[in-house]
A = this chain, B = another copy of it.
Amino acid sequence: MNLILLEAADFIENGQVKLTDRRFQHVKTHIKPEIGSTLKVGLLGGKMGQGKIIELSSNRLLLDQIVLDTPPPPRLPLTLLLGLPRPKMLKRIFQHVATLGIERLILLNSYRVEKSFWQSPWLEPETIREQLILGLEQGRDTVLPEVIIEKRFKLFVEDRLPAITCGKLGLVADPRASLSCPRHAAQSTVLAIGPEGGWIPYEVEKMQEAGLASVNLGPRILRVDTAVTALAARLF
């Protein structure tokens, strides 16, 4: 936790902040600050800054003199379109996406996605939010990525993807592609990465029709969480 993320409900009278939950526990157990020292804080969706510790007791942390004067780091203008990963991978994906500052994550059905994956408790909105917040605390950012769930491949790719891709660089990962994924494109980008085993040719074709160009990601096969990090670093 490199940033204590605050929400409106954490503020009490006089502009002080009172924490009694996981964040309090983390500060007490891991940071072990002295009274009078400052902690890095950020307002969820807002600015970052610091607060002064005026109490750290057995059941609460009190911060005073909250100053929020620094904008969060710039976001990566990336819409990441993922074939729904297996549940145990999802948790890491949400955290990574938030830590890296990826603007938007779309989880899409694909021929190679096992149907049972859609029943995962990791897809509950509250659970997704928790993982995103863990990612923001790690990366020191305050802005939640947008997460969209699309269970119908054809409908999404035909009806919505063209508008999402319009004016952006559109890329779909396909090991058969001769073009390599560009470096430092540094422009708004839509990047589609398939599930384990990749997109099937029909899916690649449909995404090409929606404006995405096929690119290969090199000879090594990366786990999807590793691929997301590697491609975000390569593109921006």
Contact = CB atoms under 8 A, between A and B. Distances in A.
A221 B2 contact: yes
Contact of A229 (B73, B218, B229): B229
A232 B227 CA distance: 12
Interface stretch (A10-18, A20-28, A123-131, A134-142): A134-142
B231 A73 contact: no
Chain A's interface size range is 20 to 34
A222 B140 CA distance: 9
A101 B220 contact: yes
Contact of A219 (B73, B138, B226, B233): B73
Interface of A: 2, 73-74, 96, 99-101, 138-141, 183-184, 218-223, 226, 229-234
By Cβ-Cβ distance, the 10 closest A-B pairs, closest first, are A73-B219, A230-B233, A233-B233, A139-B220, A229-B229, A233-B234, A2-B221, A140-B221, A229-B230, A226-B229
